[in-house]
Amino acid sequence: MLIREAELLDGRIVDLRIAEGHIAELAPSLPHRADEPLIEAQGGLLLPGLHDHHLHLYSLAAALDSVPCGPPQVRDREQLRAQLQAGARALAPGEWLRGTGYHESVAGELDRAALDALLPDRPLRIQQRSGRLWLLNSAALAQLEAANGDDPLERVDGRATGRLYDADDWLRTRLPRRPRSLARASRLLASQGVTGVTDTTPHNDLAAAADGFAAAQASGELRQRLMLMGDASLDALVDTPQLLRGAHKFHLHDHELPDFDALCADIRRAHAAGRGAAFHCVSRTDLVYALQALCEAGVRAGDRIEHASVLPPELLEQVRALRLTVVTQPHFIAERGDEYLSEVAAEDQPWLYRLRSLLDAGIPLAGGSDAPFGAPDPWAAMQAAVTRRTRGGQFVAAEEALSPEQALALFTGAAAQPGGAPRMIERGAVADLCLLEQAWRALRPDLAAARVRWVVRDGEPIYS
């Protein structure tokens, strides 16, 4: 395959030949062979395929089959009612309706009675935007609630409220089972230029998730390379070119932190198995606890802080001293910034989803979408990193903004070294490539306007 007249990020216009999954030749001009496909780039920017360093593939697949229940699609109770009723009409009688992305700005704190008023005639579950809370109507509770109360459902005066916190594993075993295809999610990611992802779901395990992902890749359902985080069973996962073993993921909640000694023992075990430790940290408390545990257990290459939602100066210095990588979500400022400005304590607002100060401190920094809890659009995330503006037009810690080049680098690092040097387009490199319609000069003022034209992984097209 020959790509003709593509622009590289350094401004060069080149021809590029792909053979056996690698970049075989790179030159100002190459002859076209009669037997090879030809792509006329016409000066469009050619980049390494993007890597989303933090998402949840099966949750994204489920969300794509669900009803949006929060901003920007839904902003008030009547819009929520209309969305739910339209979604219900598309289902078979008795089938569960699944909603995602709810935020209290739409219709306040929901419970079973509020949901019954919106949709009483079929089982309904709605996931709150954080991913930690499920909201259930009475029809759903009738199928889930234990007669003796031996379940994790929230109750007031003995009656289930319809609120279920941090109980995904319990819920998963009690819902109607159906195969979940990754094909739609994979196509969506490919259309954004994404050739690799890191799935950071804490309960990924060797028997279920790893085998399922490997089968999805083998069948062509999942077209991206995958680095897989998860539990201790993944210590035994053997790397392949398409499926890499990632860090042990620790999902911290400041209201229910794990036993400190047990956490340190798990970190040491992961390190002994050659794995890093990755910590979900969306509050000061989460981050302090994670840093204390790493100070006690020791650190190794591959240890990561996920989100680092609130990172005050004294904790940033600890992150730097421990040589940790931060994988963050700059688009949350755009998607949720207006709510942050009204809900987050004023003293914490300057430390929300920091970017530039991490790079200035020499901390490796990478980007992930957290899809489906954030939009799976790396280009919108890049532009949010540059502007630091909310949907309402307000700035959040504007001094943390990045240059377009720095924002692009958040998604072009290697899976195993997020925040490291961006992957290069050079002879001998694996042909994971993303070709845009625009040149860099046209794209640079608004990265969210990127138009992906053509994407290959291992030299094989996965989007056109």
pLDDT band at 231 (very low <50, low <70, confident <90, very high): very high
- Helix %, strand %, coil % for the chain, to 5? 35, 25, 40
Look up the pTM and report it. Answer: 0.89
What is the distance between the alpha carbons of residues 232 and 270, in angstroms, rounded to a whole number?
7
Predicted pLDDT of residue 149:
78
Q: What residues does 417 pair with on adjacent strands?
A: 414
Percent of the chain with pLDDT strictly greater than 90? 91
Q: Average pLDDT, stretch 305-320? A: 98
Whole-number pLDDT of residue 175: 86
Which candidate, 357, 366, 402, places its Cα nearest to that of 384?
402
Label residue 355 by pLDDT band (50, 70, 90): very high
- In this prediction, residue 4 has a pLDDT band, given cuts at 50, 70 and 90, of very high
Residue type for position 119: L
Distances (CA, A) of 155 to 24, 50, 119, 175, 391: 64, 45, 21, 20, 36
H or E stretch at 170: helix 168-172
Whether the Cβ atoms of residue 201 and residue 388 lie closer than 8 Å to each other: no
What's the pLDDT score for residue 150? Answer: 87
pLDDT at 279: 98
Other C-beta atoms closer than 10 Å to the C-beta of 356 total 18
Residue for token pair 């939602």: 309
SS3 106: helix
Confidence of residue 132 (pLDDT cuts 50, 70, 90): confident
Cα separation of the two ends of the chain? 14
**Alpha helix ranges (H) inside 361-433:** 378-387, 404-409
Write the single-letter amino acid at 111. Answer: D
Q: Band of the pLDDT at 256, cuts 50, 70, 90? A: confident
For residue 254, what pLDDT band results from cuts at 50, 70 and 90?
confident
C-alpha span between 235 and 24 (Å, rounded): 35
Instruction: Reply yes or no on whether the pLDDT at 173 is more than 90.
Output: no
Which domains are seen in the chain, by residue range?
1-49+424-464 (2.30.40.10), 50-58+182-423 (3.20.20.140), 62-172 (3.10.310.70)
Which H/E stretch holds residue 50? Answer: strand 50-55
Using the predicted structure, report yes or no on whether residue 208 has a pLDDT greater than 90.
no
pLDDT of residue 147: 75
Per-residue pLDDT, averaged over 75-90, amounts to: 95
Residue 178 has pLDDT above 80, yes or no: no
The per-residue pLDDT for 72 is 86
pLDDT digits (tens, 9 = 90+) for 38-61: 999 999 999 999 999 999 999 999
Distance of CA 49 to the CA centre of its chain: 16
The tokens describing 436, both together, are 């845009």
Query: What pLDDT, in 10s, does the model give residues 372-407?
Result: 999 999 999 999 999 999 999 999 999 999 999 999
Run of H or E including 317? helix 313-321
